[in-house]
Amino acid sequence: MPCKGSFQLFIWTLTMVVFMFMNDETTAAAAENPCKNTSYGKNTLKPMRDQTIADSFVDLSSYNELEMVPNRFEASDVVLSRDGHVMYVVFDNTYQIGALCTSLGRSFNCTDRLLSWPDSSLDGKDSSFEGVTYNPLAGTYFVIQETIPTNSKKVFQANVFEIRIDMKDSIPIRVVESCIVNWEFGSENKGFEGLEFVFHERSGQTYLLGLCEANKCDHTSASGNDGRIVVLEKKQATAKRECVWQPVSTVDLPSSVRFTDYSAISIYHQESRKLPTYVAVTSQVNSQLWIGRINEIDEKPFFEFSQLNKNTVYNLPRTTETASECQIKYCNIEGVAWRGKNQLILVSDKAKAEQGAHCIEKDQSVHYLVLPEHLTD
């Protein structure tokens, strides 16, 4: 007959085994289902409001107005005007640019508009626009086409338009220059997905940062944590060659950023536009946003990205009505812009047919969100 001490030891061991099994099950469930994670609230962006883009341009009291606007708004990026009155939204299915007034702009009698591209021969054609950014030194905007065909069927390159936008001009968009990007992709829909203008203070040089959609900038990559940004320097046109954006280096995102894809980038710019500062990168597939820090360095790649002191990979809100499912509902995030140090504006593309009905509600929209906790470091 076993002694009492041995029996108690057996019961204690059995209890610990059951506890560890249940804890492993809970941990696994939380990893698979963020809604069951105790830190869900701290790691999830707080929605303020959503606005469909069509609502900005369609007056339902006017029966003919629906015929005058595109039948879909495949938003791909967003940038705020310098005065904060307007956010400019680019779409990959049209050359038109949306000028959506902020609450500040409306107090100055701003009106939402669809701005026509100056070349009317492009009306009704897909633009492949995937990124837009502001150049405060020249007062212009850069818009990048994800890829355009080349002489080789299996090689694609991006193209950058530099444009001026003046809402008071009879021709509100004027193209300053169009320059090819000397970087090759092997897929027409896995190229640059985001764009940022950045000033390197110590050298006095300006660059564009092109965010690749695929890990390692390679559409065949199976990696899940190799986000990459291409640093581009402009080479001016000469009598013998056209202008070109030349890659000078690539920068890796921290390996802790485990995204399947990368859909947008935005740098938090203060008035001085000096670095270091915050940077936001989104993932459409993961429906998440990472916030880190960008700083300049003296040697190539000239910039580096680092983590903040705390975890700053945020979920977009899930469908918590059925916590057992915790479905993604912001399925098509393709653009991001800082509205303030702790507020963000995101835009969504059109939902894909294979994504399911739960993705339709938030597609083709502008989303206003705040961070669950203020940034302090």
For residue 14, pLDDT over 80 is answered with no
Residue 24 has pLDDT above 80, yes or no: no
For the stretch 142-194, pLDDT in tens is: 999 999 888 888 899 999 999 999 999 999 999 999 999 999 999 999 999 99
Note the pLDDT tens digit of each residue in 182-235.
Answer: 999 999 999 999 999 999 999 999 999 999 999 999 999 988 999 999 999 999
Position 26 scores a pLDDT of 37
Average pLDDT over residues 128-143: 97
| C-alpha–C-alpha distance, residues 341 and 266, integer Å | 12
What average pLDDT does the chain have? 89
Contact 365, 332 (CB under 8 A): no
Residue 48 has pLDDT above 70, yes or no: yes
pLDDT at 29 over 80: no
Specify the pairing of strand 327-328 against strand 318-319. Answer: antiparallel
Single pTM value for the model: 0.88
Question: How far is Cα 267 from Cα 273, in angstroms, rounded to an integer?
Answer: 9
**What's the pLDDT at 8?**
62
Instruction: Let me know: does 115 contact 100? Beta carbons within 8 Å.
Output: no
Residue 33 is predicted with a pLDDT of 73
Task: State yes or no: pLDDT of 16 exceeds 70.
Answer: no
Residues 6+ apart with CB under 8 A from 10: 2
pLDDT at 107: 94
